Structure 1
């Protein structure tokens, strides 16, 4: 039997921005939570879709063909290969669902890039 996880409480407990943590697994996907503020980096994931669910706050996802605005409870799937940059004007709590092969900042590396080992650390 799996453990019950409060995604909201796990996200609230995070002390680092833009440092997702794995809170569960479903088949070949990780369920992650993150606390974000500011801008991550424009990047893409060539072979993986990425689901963003806003737990608290507001997130804008900037893409080459426009942006989407997400409020609490909203979710959006960035299709594989689409260059995107998540931006939070104020602190925002997220749940992410990604294949286990998805690199944090996709095809770019910045000071905000986190390895899978870092994402697997306990909350």
Structure 2
């Protein structure tokens, strides 16, 4: 068995086809990676903590957007404040923001907001 002759040298056309196949395989790997990232971003949706009591009457509400690309989290900012207002209005009170943070969407990072608030008497005009 050790006396087998070495395989013949590959033909130039074969080498060219093999390099083309290698390039196509690399492109397909990139395409699969992009498709997987898009699928994950679509399936994660809009994640939210819901309203979480912290301390001394302060609540936390944070939300992450499935927003793709670059930009501010304008849509979820409105959603967070609407949810906080609904929560406080059930108590006959109004939202008083104690802290607000937002993270813009960028490559491989979702837009997000975090709102810390308390329910207080509405200011009289």
Same fold, TM-score > 0.5, yes or no: no
The structure number with the bigger radius of gyration is: 2
Instruction: Specify which structure has the bigger relative contact order, considering alpha-carbon pairs within 8 angstroms and separated by 6 or more residues.
Output: 1
Q: Give the number of the structure whose residues are more often strand, by fraction.
A: 1
